[in-house]
Amino acid sequence: MKVHKIELLIVDHDEVGIDEIKDIIENIKYPNWCMSPQVMQTATVNIGKWDDDLPINKTDTIKAEYNRLFNQ
Protein backbone atom coordinates (compact mmCIF):
# COMPACT_ATOMS: atom_id res chain seq x y z
CA MET A 1 0.00 0.00 0.00
CA LYS A 2 1.17 3.51 -0.73
CA VAL A 3 0.54 6.94 0.70
CA HIS A 4 0.90 10.04 -1.46
CA LYS A 5 1.90 13.56 -0.44
CA ILE A 6 0.16 16.41 -2.22
CA GLU A 7 0.08 18.67 0.83
CA LEU A 8 -2.87 16.48 1.70
CA LEU A 9 -2.25 13.00 3.03
CA ILE A 10 -4.19 10.49 0.95
CA VAL A 11 -4.23 6.83 1.97
CA ASP A 12 -4.70 5.01 -1.33
CA HIS A 13 -6.91 2.10 -0.20
CA ASP A 14 -8.14 1.44 -3.75
CA GLU A 15 -4.65 1.76 -5.27
CA VAL A 16 -5.85 4.50 -7.63
CA GLY A 17 -2.31 5.83 -8.04
CA ILE A 18 -0.83 9.28 -7.82
CA ASP A 19 -1.55 10.31 -11.42
CA GLU A 20 -5.28 9.62 -11.12
CA ILE A 21 -5.46 11.26 -7.69
CA LYS A 22 -3.79 14.35 -9.18
CA ASP A 23 -6.33 14.37 -12.05
CA ILE A 24 -9.27 13.98 -9.65
CA ILE A 25 -8.08 16.90 -7.50
CA GLU A 26 -7.41 19.15 -10.48
CA ASN A 27 -10.54 18.33 -12.48
CA ILE A 28 -13.28 18.20 -9.85
CA LYS A 29 -15.99 20.78 -10.44
CA TYR A 30 -16.14 22.96 -7.35
CA PRO A 31 -19.31 25.04 -6.72
CA ASN A 32 -19.21 28.32 -8.64
CA TRP A 33 -15.67 27.41 -9.74
CA CYS A 34 -14.60 28.76 -6.35
CA MET A 35 -11.12 27.26 -6.74
CA SER A 36 -8.93 25.69 -9.37
CA PRO A 37 -6.20 23.62 -7.70
CA GLN A 38 -3.00 22.71 -9.53
CA VAL A 39 -0.82 19.93 -8.17
CA MET A 40 2.74 21.20 -8.38
CA GLN A 41 4.67 18.45 -6.62
CA THR A 42 3.97 14.98 -5.26
CA ALA A 43 5.74 12.27 -3.27
CA THR A 44 4.86 8.62 -2.71
CA VAL A 45 5.96 6.19 0.01
CA ASN A 46 5.22 2.48 0.20
CA ILE A 47 3.98 1.59 3.70
CA GLY A 48 3.58 -2.15 3.11
CA LYS A 49 0.43 -4.09 3.88
CA TRP A 50 -2.39 -2.07 5.43
CA ASP A 51 -3.17 -2.64 9.06
CA ASP A 52 -5.61 -0.59 11.14
CA ASP A 53 -2.92 -0.27 13.83
CA LEU A 54 -0.48 1.59 11.57
CA PRO A 55 0.62 4.96 13.02
CA ILE A 56 -0.68 6.69 9.87
CA ASN A 57 -4.19 5.55 10.83
CA LYS A 58 -4.24 6.99 14.36
CA THR A 59 -5.02 10.59 15.20
CA ASP A 60 -2.44 10.71 17.99
CA THR A 61 0.45 9.47 15.80
CA ILE A 62 -0.44 10.55 12.24
CA LYS A 63 1.57 13.81 12.28
CA ALA A 64 4.75 12.17 13.58
CA GLU A 65 4.37 9.29 11.11
CA TYR A 66 3.78 11.73 8.24
CA ASN A 67 6.96 13.57 9.19
CA ARG A 68 8.89 10.31 9.43
CA LEU A 69 7.61 8.94 6.11
CA PHE A 70 8.30 12.12 4.17
CA ASN A 71 11.48 13.20 6.01
CA GLN A 72 9.95 16.43 7.28
Q: Tell me the pLDDT tens digit for each residue of 5-60.
A: 887 788 898 999 999 998 988 898 888 888 888 888 899 999 999 999 999 999 99
All structural domains of the chain with their residue ranges: 2-69
Model confidence at 65, in pLDDT bands (50, 70, 90)?
A: very high
Q: Is the dihedral of CA 38, 10, 67, 71 positive or negative?
A: negative
Please give the model's pTM, rounded to 2 decimal places: 0.69
Q: Round to whole Å and give the CA distance between 58 and 62.
A: 6
Q: Evaluate whether 27 touches 21 at the Cβ level (below 8 Å).
A: no
Residue 22's SS3 state is helix
